[in-house]
């Protein structure tokens, strides 16, 4: 395995569009072969290798499954890894970020579960739109900036989804 790309581990050509079912089937097929449970009676060295290989396979699978992580990964494969947090360069989206955060805050204060469900749906739709946008431009080196911007927005919405889940949990109390 070594430095094979995540896509190569699954015999896939790097692309943003991905058949998740197909990926899952390939994952299952491969993990069966490298999982440490297959080496329960083997030498320590083999067990350690199995541990490392399956950890790598799991990491690759989790990265490719998530659209926003997949997007960042594709960009990293193409050029340099994206620098971490630089939302300052996206003033248009910054407004939207603040609005979304405020809305979430209000939902929390109002303990509004119904409103939260509607918010989640809108969030899902926004994520879909970003996915489409990214799919259209990532392969074009001239549109690199745009692709990076979209990837950052996807990451933000991911974080927001996580906060929504945390809020759901708190409201369950």
Partner 1 sequence: MALLQIAEPGQSPQPHQRRLAVGIDLGTTNSLVAALRSSLAESLADADGEVILPSAVRYRADGLVEVGRRAKAVAAGDPLNTVLSVKRLMGRGIADLTLLGKQLPYRFVEGESHMPFLDTVQGPKSPVEVSAEILRVLRRRAEEALGGELVGAVITVPAYFDEAQRQATKDAARLAGLNVLRLLNEPTAAAVAYGLDRRAEGVVAVYDLGGGTFDISILRLTQGVFEVLATGGDSALGGDDFDHAIANWIVEQAGLSADLDPGTQRHLLQLACAAKEALSESSSVALAYGPWQGELSREHFDALIEPLVARSLKACRRALRDAEIELEDISAVVMVGGSTRVPRVRQVVAELFDHPPLTDIDPDQVVAIGAALQADTLAGNGRDGEELLLLDVNPLSLGLETMGGLMEKVIPRNTTLPVARAQDFTTYKDGQTAMLIHVLQGERELVKDCRSLARFELRGIPPMVAGAAKIRVTFQVDADGLLGVSARELGSGVEASVQVKPSYGLTDGEVARMLKDSFEHAGGDKAARMLRELQVEAQRLLEAVQAALEVDGEALLSSEERVAIAAQMQALRDALEAQDGAVIELHTRRLAQVTDAFAARRMDASVKAALAGRRLNEIEE
> Which positions lie near partner 1, rule CB under 8 A?
24-25, 28, 31-32, 35-37, 40-41, 51-52, 54-56, 58-59, 61-62, 165, 168-169, 172-173
CB of 9 to partner 1, least distance (A): 14
Rank residues 122 and 170 by Cβ distance to partner 1 and give the closer one: 170
Sign of the alpha-carbon dihedral angle for 128, 130, 132, 138: negative
Rank residues 58 and 96 by Cβ distance to partner 1 and give the closer one: 58
Rank residues 40 and 92 by Cβ distance to partner 1 and give the closer one: 40
How far apart CA 44 and CA 90 sit, in angstroms, is 51
- Cβ-in-10-Å burial (0-12, 13-18, 19+) of 151 comes to buried
Q: CB–CB of 134/150 below 8 Å?
A: yes
CB of 34 to partner 1, least distance (A): 10
CB of 169 to partner 1, least distance (A): 6
Rank residues 109 and 169 by Cβ distance to partner 1 and give the closer one: 169
Reference 129, options 147, 154, 152; nearest CA is 154
CB of 22 to partner 1, least distance (A): 13
Residue with token string 């259209």: 136
């Amino acid at each position: 395995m070594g430095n094979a790309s995540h896509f190569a581990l699954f015999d896939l050509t790097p692309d943003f569009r991905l058949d998740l079912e197909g990926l899952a089937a390939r994952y299952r097929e491969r993990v069966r072969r490298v999982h440490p449970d297959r080496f329960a009676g083997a030498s320590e060295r083999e067990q350690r290798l199995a541990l490392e290989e399956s950890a790598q396979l799991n990491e690759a699978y989790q990265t490719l499954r998530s659209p926003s992580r997949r997007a960042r990964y594709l960009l990293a494969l193409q050029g340099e890894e994206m620098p971490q947090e630089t939302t300052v360069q996206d003033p248009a989206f910054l407004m939207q970020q603040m609005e979304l955060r405020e809305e979430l805050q209000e939902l929390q204060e109002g303990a509004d579960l119904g409103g939260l469900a509607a918010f989640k749906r809108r969030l899902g739709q926004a994520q879909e739109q970003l996915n489409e946008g990214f799919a259209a431009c990532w392969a074009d080196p001239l549109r690199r900036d745009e692709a990076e911007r979209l990837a950052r927005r996807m990451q933000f919405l991911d974080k927001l989804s996580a906060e929504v889940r945390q809020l759901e949990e708190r409201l369950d109390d």
